[in-house]
Structure 1
Amino acid sequence: MSNLHGKAFTFPGIPDSYVRLHPTVTLSGDIAAASVCLRYFSDMPEAERVQSFFSLATRKRFNGFLLSKKGNSSYYQIVGDAVGQFWGLPADLNHWNSVCGTWDSDTGLSQVWVNGKPGARKFVFKGGRLTGTPIVIIGLDQDAYGGGFYQIDAFIGQLTDVHMWDRVIAPCEINNYSEDRKFQHGNLINWHAAAYTTYGNVVEEKQIHSDLVKECRRTDDCCNLF
């Protein structure tokens, strides 16, 4: 296990470069509710370009739980191969964006939040379950169990602060996460106690926050801040 707090992975956007995250507990039963939060930094504005942030696949469901963005117009949350598309949410270029996705099987309600702003609720995979041992990958979309990658879906930029819960986290928790305040870390994936494997040309490095850049402009010794 490694504490990745303050660390980020930089992705070049090619299909053989990704990070596999290993859940902190053995997931072999049913997943009936889930929440995923992460932060991304990118400068990709293309209208038709899909960027995959988080991909959970099982042997039966390659798109078990997927978070992605298409251009600057919409975000996608796919659960159990059922698609929810969310419009009108922030997608700031060259800025850290916080994304959270929640899903509950009992109600079928799915929702995406970006920088603390909620998207409209959608009905996705009501009554469904994610069964079997999952593979979790960031930076690429699995179109097969642990593989089937395509460059067109590859993320280009930085990803950090990835957490996953086996419940629907509350709006106040999402707000705390988005504002970088204290929150309960994910019980399935915890960025502060993460087991992971990198593949390809992914680079692990220190995360540079915008507030540090501002502080750097006000000091004569910028290097001490990083």
Structure 2
Amino acid sequence: MALLNGMSPLLSLLIIGSLHLASTERPMKKTLVFPVATDTSYVELMPQKDLSIASFTLCMQLATELAKGKREIILFAYRTEQFDELNVWRESDGTYQMFMQSSKNGVSFNLPELNTIQTHLCLTWESQTGMAAFYVNGKRSLRKLYKMGHRVLPGGRVILGQDPDSLLGNFDINQSFVGEITDVNMWDYVLSTAMIRDLNDGKWVPRGNIFDWETINMKLNGNVTLFSEDL
């Protein structure tokens, strides 16, 4: 190969090598696979900042066959020593609910059902008005009011795959998640409808400042596989 514009052999090799690395490196997508129902398998997510928040957007992609039956499915759990501080469920009656601070009455939504094809699911809430909404594949549900003036408290642990009835334990096999979870991102503010639509379409949006799936730290426990593939 001829030298590049009269450059020295060493400089030419460095440039060619850099171009080769750039052309062969591919972005990777990581997915958590929960193959079977258990009362031991879960993934703990390490937040980039404390969950001391008065608003949030939580997004993830999920695929599961469990929604075909009448079964509770935990989708997201944040537990402190005192409370289930923030939980998201697919209930046995097919509704989707958010609970804060172990409230007996969450806010309930009727949504298109999860299935074996990945669904992009987001949830937004802000304290000032109590406004909450789900988004399914970029489309917003109606808005509902829940926990106006409340604040999510810090000091807990976030897990996927199980619902902890203590800080990190007392799991129920009949509430566990089975399937795939990927692209878990969380912001301490409410993303606009347009931004959530762009996120669903694979366009650029600011990465989550509580959880950023591209850089997230996590601990796998039990029968969970972290699968990586080229985008």
Q: Same fold (TM over 0.5)?
A: yes
How far off is 1:138 after superposition? Answer: 0.9
Cα distance in 1, alignment partners of residues 155 and 113 from structure 2? 32
Counterpart residue number, 1:122: 144
Identity, % of aligned pairs? 27
- Select 1:75's aligned residue among 72, 84, 96: 96
CA RMSD of aligned residues (A): 2.0
SS in structure 1 at match of 2:174: helix
**SS of 2:179's equivalent?**
strand
SS in 1 for 2:186: strand
Find the aligned partners of 2:53 and 2:83 in 1 and give their Cα distance: 12
Q: Distance in 1 between matches of 2:153 and 2:92?
A: 31
Secondary structure in structure 2 of the residue aligned to 1:93: coil
The aligned counterpart of 1:220 is none
Q: Does 1:24 align with 2:48?
A: yes
Match of 1:111 among 133, 152, 163: 133
Per the alignment, residue 192 of structure 1 pairs with 214
Q: Distance in 1 between matches of 2:166 and 2:186?
A: 21
* Structure (1 or 2) with the larger CA radius of gyration: 2
Q: What is the CA distance between 1:72 and its match in structure 2?
A: 8.2
* Cα distance in 2 for residues equivalent to 1:117 and 1:70: 21
| Counterpart pick for 2:30 among 7, 16, 26 | 7
Match of 2:119 in 1: 97
Q: Distance in 1 between matches of 2:204 and 2:151?
A: 30
For 1:65 and 1:159, how far apart are their aligned partners in 2? 18
TM-score when scaled to structure 2?
Answer: 0.80
- Choose which of 65, 70, 76 in structure 2 pairs with 1:43: 65
2:108 equivalent to 1:85:
yes
In 2: Cα distance, 1:173 partner to 1:134 partner: 28
Which residues in structure 2 correspond to 1:115-154 (within 5 Å)?
Answer: 115-154=137-176
CA–CA distance in structure 1, aligned partners of residues 164 and 200 of structure 2: 27
The separation in 2 between residues aligned to 1:151 and 1:134, in whole angstroms, is: 22
Shift of 1:92: 4.5
Q: Mark the runs of 5 or more structure 1 residues left unpaired by the alignment.
A: 208-224
Alignment match, 1:217:
none
CA–CA distance in structure 2, aligned partners of residues 118 and 79 of structure 1: 21
Is the Cα contact below 8 Å between 1:46 and 1:72 reproduced in 2?
Answer: no
Q: Do the aligned partners of 1:49 and 1:152 also contact (CA within 8 Å) in 2?
A: yes
The answer to whether the Cα contact below 8 Å between 2:67 and 2:94 also exists between their aligned partners in 1 is no
1:216 paired residue number: none
Instruction: Rate the CA distance shift 1:194–1:120 in 2: closer, same or farther, 3 A.
Output: same
Q: 2:86 aligns with which of 49, 65, 71?
A: 65
